[in-house]
Amino acid sequence: MKVAAVQMVSTPDVARNLDAAARLIGEAAAAGAGLVALPEYFCLMGRDGDKVVHAEPADGGPIQHMLADAARRHGVWILGGTIPAAGSAAGRVLNRTPVFAPDGKLVARYDKLHLFAFDNGRERYDEGAVLDAGESPVAVQCGTLRVGLSVCYDLRFPELYRRLMQPPCDLLAVPSAFTWTTGRAHWELLLRARAVENQCYVLAPAQGGRHENGRRTWGHSMIVDPWGDVLGVRDEGDGVVVADVDPARIAEVRRQLPALAHRRL
């Protein structure tokens, strides 16, 4: 199956972002992708309070309706980056990946487990200010592919991916909005490590560029194969990266170097 990582430079305007996402999903489908993944917060890149304002209930809302319609229109699986979802109490939000089947049905959702915090004296982030953490790992069958779901900062916690490999996944998805600072240092390094140690493909759609709210994200959306080879990458700006997920390649790597079978812990 061909898969696509969509890169965006999202704005504080939800309607504009949804229009851009719909266009890019169409581009990915036209390129032959059967599964399309959007970046973290593709729908909204603003202030923390904006996430609360636009948080959607589990049973739908305009962001989820757009994703369902796009999946149905193009006949593709859609990993909906992340959206703000109603949390445990007023003013609290979950950072949620919804997954839609080609018929537009919502088939899975994953709430980001690990909440990012960073302070180097110049940049400061604390997702826990408004976000609730998720509770459990989620993998979903998307056609012929078993897909493990994760989000951005989750990438730094290899134990999550080990859990997702029971049974093994074909593809790990990492929709992200890495900062310029952390992305330049660690993004490709961590993505390739997760692919190599789990001997599967990694699909990493990202925010990439200078945003209207003043933030700069690293971008470099990419697809990595089970040997750690980067099959495609986009540095910055809106666009789509497409590559094939080949089950024969997964089987070849796992046969030649049976590391998963050698695990003792």
* Catalytic hit among 56, 112, 142, 236: 112
- The answer to whether residue 56 is catalytic is no
* Catalytic hit among 152, 169, 200, 236: 152
Separation CA 135–CA 219 (nearest Å): 28
Cβ neighbours of residue 42 closer than 8 Å, sequence gap 6 or more: 6, 8, 10, 17, 21, 80, 81, 82, 175, 207
CA atoms within 13 Å, Cβ hemisphere of 52: 14
The H-assigned helical ranges of 75-172 are 158-164
Question: Which one, of 22, 112, 117, 5, lies nearest residue 71 by Cα?
Answer: 22
Cβ neighbours of residue 205 closer than 8 Å, sequence gap 6 or more: 5, 6, 7, 37, 38, 39, 81, 175, 176, 221, 241
Task: Please state, in angstroms and as integers, the Cα–Cα distance from residue 252 to each residue in 85, 172, 199, 256, 258, following that order.
Answer: 40, 18, 10, 6, 10
Cα–Cα–Cα angle for 112, 87, 13, nearest 5°? Answer: 80
- The answer to whether residue 2 is catalytic is no
- The answer to whether residue 152 is catalytic is yes
Residues acting as catalytic residues: 40, 112, 152
